[in-house]
Structure 1
Amino acid sequence: MWVCALWEARAPALLRRRRLLPARGLRPPAAASFSASAEGSRVRALVYGHHGHPTKVVELKNLELAAVGGSDVHVKMLAAPINPSDINMIQGNYGLLPPLPAVGGNEGVGQVVAVGSNVTGVKPGDWVIPATAGLGTWRTEAVFSEEALISVPSNIPLQSAATLGVNPCTAYRMLKDFEQLQPGDSVIQNASNSGVGQAVIQIAAALGLRTINVVRDRPDLQKLTDRLKKLGAEQVVTEEELRTHEMKNVFKDMPQPRLALNGVGGKSSTELLRHLAPGGTMVTYGGMAKQPVIASVSQLIFKDLKLRGFWLSQWKKDHSPGPAAAAPLSDFLHPPTDQFKELILTLCDLIHRGQLTAPACSEVPLQDYQCALEASMQPFLSAKQILNM
């Protein structure tokens, strides 16, 4: 481990600046955990001071752990994944950007070490996950506001807890909020090997829904197909097969889907629309191809298809009562709502039943973060990178 001399020279001013960086008078709940404390203990954290390529701008730093205030929770981080949203945030092209310098990571699981005198919702020993984005989970320890955390059962697998707060929540809400699907109905999705895609397969199966899962062709296609079918996928097809006339045979044994989930964009999303039932909905939650969604006029007119978007941060904001929902940085500020807590409990129940498992993961020690960042940006990623603290 090493400490950049320039960072050490500038740290006091930068940290003071961040503490005073308001959003209309409000402060991100995680700010205290990034503040200097003369008597605090040292923690290791992955910090970026400006936006750019993750392997070039992210550095392993020593930070001071803030003192625990009355409404604060001291958390020892256990594990934190690297998500596409984390990469986009570091690059500076995400819809939500924390003040700089920032600790990376929007997701993860930690264990409570100590709590302030006013904390009632968690106690030492509990497992907690972030309730809001931008907390900065890529660090060994942190002091967070109680309202920035949600407790989860400590008897679920560590990898499931670490990857619970983003992808499974996105999958569940998209399956529930856009079409009134019944057992036996079908759903078609691309990016089926992604964290969201794997969660969609499992949650859909638990709800009695049938899935058609589109993946990119690759050397280990059969291995991937077998793995997705083991999760509950009914059909696995390649992007090329999706464009063929033989796809009609798939719908001889199942109804045409009324819901399509798009995490790719470009030609892939156009093909999803082509297979939607009249009146169906395509929900876009990602754009890995970095190409626009193109819908033909005939599909919109003669099939009356609907194009929608989904972003979990916006969903949480929309379900947050009070004026904080209108603030530009409310994603950092609003406490977890009853709806989000209920969603987490629902997903934990699926985990306990064995109906929802973590995506394929590779655990990487925190000091090997460069390798983990590089691997997370490779094509045909077969495993989610999880930083082990």
Structure 2
Amino acid sequence: FLAGCTYPPLMDSPDFPSDIKQKVQRILSVCGGKSLGAYTESQGIITIREDIAKYIQERDGYPCNSSDIYLCNGASDGIKTVIKLLMNNDPKKPSGIMIPVPQYPLYSATLSEYGAYQIEYYLDEDNNWALNIDELERAIKESKDHCVPRGIVIINPGNPTGQVLSRDNIENVIRFAEKHRLFILADEVYQENVYLPGSKLFSFKKVLMDLGAPYNRMEIASFHSASKGWHGECGSRGGYYELVNIDKDVRLQVNKLISASLCSGAWGQAMMDAIINPPKEGEPSYELYKKERLDIVNRLKQKAELVSQLFNSVEGVRCNAVMGAMYAFPRVEIPEKAIQHAKSKNMAPDAFYCFQLLEKTGICVVPGSGFKQKLGTHHFRTTILPPVDQMKDMVEKFRTFHMEFLREWK
């Protein structure tokens, strides 16, 4: 599909299935000059926005209008746009946005860039990284002397923590947000990455609508990306966000804001269409699509289960189940002697640990301190993407390193 959109003469070849040829023609027919090389509408190509609206409607069971869809250069671009809308430009009491800890650094970096106040709430590690309402209340109460709370970010499935929130948890978060009049930013870019048997992705929009009044009138932005899922097309920089229950005057300002950037990349827009509008049963491309998708998803499920089992078999390491996303976030015990040595080097203890791991084994992981974490705890993030054999080998090397590290620094 992307090859045909990029170089249309390929569609003359009999090697391309008829359904792909039709999809290519459908997209290019609404592009300027019949080419992805032209500027698109600021919100994105209308046909692709219509396909996204249909995808969301089928997913959630509620109407979705293409005018609510904004295509962007990866979800990060959309997240920054929406956060910008919530800023009040008051340096004495700036807008505050609630963000999870551990958190994806995009949020803290963006809030710092915009001069916003970071209202950090801790995820509950002992409850599979769920959101604890008492913790949310603590965080917002302590923030009110410093800011005007405007929004709450929820990453589901979680990055770096790999959790998938239960429906009850989502309902309680929505009630909390309504109570405090918070705009919801639902980062759902890993919505296709759910592995644990019994786990299910409930979109915040669906749950909000299911709850009825007054919750179904709340303002919410939800985000999706070409970079995640089972496809993982990071370099395409494709993404979109849906704005729900947004006042028409605010929407006008959104349109002004995005028009200054002209449009997102048309190739990334086409990638997004390929993801949310895949071959359907009965179409010539379907069987190959189905086989490739199942192969990738089943391998991810296998590795998600395997990685937590392997880490939990190592003394002094505890890893919650990888329910979704692409990461494990194990908690590791670091001896006090090593902690003090790290501090003497002006390093976070888990950063010292991770650098030692890299130098002695070649294994590269990300220190938990880079995502922030509860004081006195130490973690690292690793991906579940390598092949199974490599992952098993990696954990055995890690086990040997960890036991030697404990002996050296006990």
Task: Give the TM-score normalised by the residue count of structure 1.
Answer: 0.35
Name the larger-Rg structure.
2
Task: Give the TM-score normalised by the residue count of structure 2.
Answer: 0.33
Higher strand share: 1
Higher helix share: 2
